[in-house]
Amino acid sequence: MHNPFSLEGKIILVTGASSGIGRGIAAACADMGARLVITGRNETRLDETFQSLSGTGHTVIAADLSTQEGIDKIANNTPTLNGCAFCAGIAKLSQVKFITRDILEEIVNINEISPILLTAQLLKKKKFLKQSSLIYIASLSGVYKSKPGEGMYAASKGAISGFVKDAALELAPQNIRVNAICPAFIQTEMTKMFDDMIWEVEHPEDIYPLKRLGTTSDIANGAIYLLSDASSWVTGINLLIDGGYCIA
Ligand SMILES: NC(=O)c1ccc[n+]([C@@H]2O[C@H](COP(=O)([O-])OP(=O)(O)OC[C@H]3O[C@@H](n4cnc5c(N)ncnc54)[C@H](OP(=O)(O)O)[C@@H]3O)[C@@H](O)[C@H]2O)c1
């Protein structure tokens, strides 16, 4: 039986694949039959992801997305793609009055500038086949909600939520789809710094109407939908995956 969610025969690039959500998306895409091109900076953790992938034909490109050299390295070495999941990102908190240019530029550089410039390079080098699907991990913080201290992060993620709408329009004539996923809190390396804040609530799962915390698999399942032909009439959206948090 035809499975519209299958990624069989597709080649998918995943940034931020050395950890957390990117690693979860890479593993889930491989389980659904895709060949992966995985990238990140930390070669040891990247290799751990690589070793864990099911199937064959996967490749690794270690690169730092904060530099133009790193962006060029990925764009030059990646094969022709059917999809890309832009997951690399960082989070830092600061009250608005303590925001500095250095830290703001660091966050915006990784979360906003690097995925946009990598997209531009991949398009210029004609690395996306027709009917490709591009997904960007934005955040609940941005267009949906925010918390005190998240201003810089929310600004960088809100920018991506806006970017996908224009890119979706521009690329629709080539049948290339562009969408964002906006996850609520998912426990990863990144969110360890928020642990004290989150876990001061006795039952953190009660924050969510669905009464459990989100996992990287919840986000990976959304990614499979958007990367597969199951979503072939979906473009320009910000897919909220939040256990009902925003309606509570
Ligand atoms: N966890 C959440 O609650 C949550 C919620 C909403 C959105 N998000 C977004 O989801 C994405 C993944 O986050 P995560 O929670 O999975 O965090 P994570 O476990 O810390 O993973 C972050 C990934 O980004 C990569 N990365 C960071 N800086 C990089 C750079 N300069 N060059 C190349 N790669 C770089 C890291 O690779 P190396 O370590 O190898 O450099 C790592 O693979 C991020 O965009 C984040 O903003 C997360």
In a domain, 3, yes or no: no
Residue 119: what pLDDT?
A: 98
Q: Nearest C-alpha to atom 20 of ligand 1 is from which residue?
A: 190
Residue 80 lies in a domain: yes
In a domain, 5, yes or no: no
132: in domain: yes
Report pLDDT digits (tens) over 174-204: 999 999 999 999 999 998 877 666 666 778 8
Q: Which of these, 155, 49, 55, 168, lies nearest to 112 by C-alpha position?
A: 155
**Ligand 1 contact, 67 CB (< 6 A):** no
Residue 6 lies in a domain: no
Which amino acid, one-letter code, is at 118?
L
Tell me if 87 CB under 6 Å of ligand 1.
yes
**Could you tell me if residue 107 is inside a domain?**
yes
Report in angstroms the alpha-carbon separations of 175 from 1, 21, 179, 205.
25, 26, 13, 39
Distance 1 CA to ligand 1 centre (A): 36
DSSP 110: I
For residues 196 and 60, the model is more confident at 60
**pLDDT confidence of residue 203:** 87
Find the catalytic residue in 136, 144, 153, 225.
153
115 lines ligand 1 (CB under 6 A): no
Residue 94 included in any domain: yes
Domain with 65 in it: 11-240
Model confidence at 115: pLDDT above 80: yes
Give the integer Cα–Cα distance in Å for 228 and 246. Answer: 26
AA letter at 225: Y
* Residue of minimum CA distance from atom 19 in ligand 1: 20
Per-residue model confidence as pLDDT tens digits over 198-248 = 666 778 899 999 999 999 999 999 999 999 999 999 999 999 999 999 999
* pTM (2 d.p.): 0.98
- As for how many domains the chain has, the answer is 1
HSE value, Cβ hemisphere, 13 Å, CA-based, for 202: 0
- Report if residue 54 sits inside a domain: yes
How high is the pLDDT of residue 200? 67
Say whether 225 is catalytic. Answer: no
Q: pLDDT averaged over the chain?
A: 96
Task: Indicate which CATH number applies to the domain containing 229.
Answer: 3.40.50.720
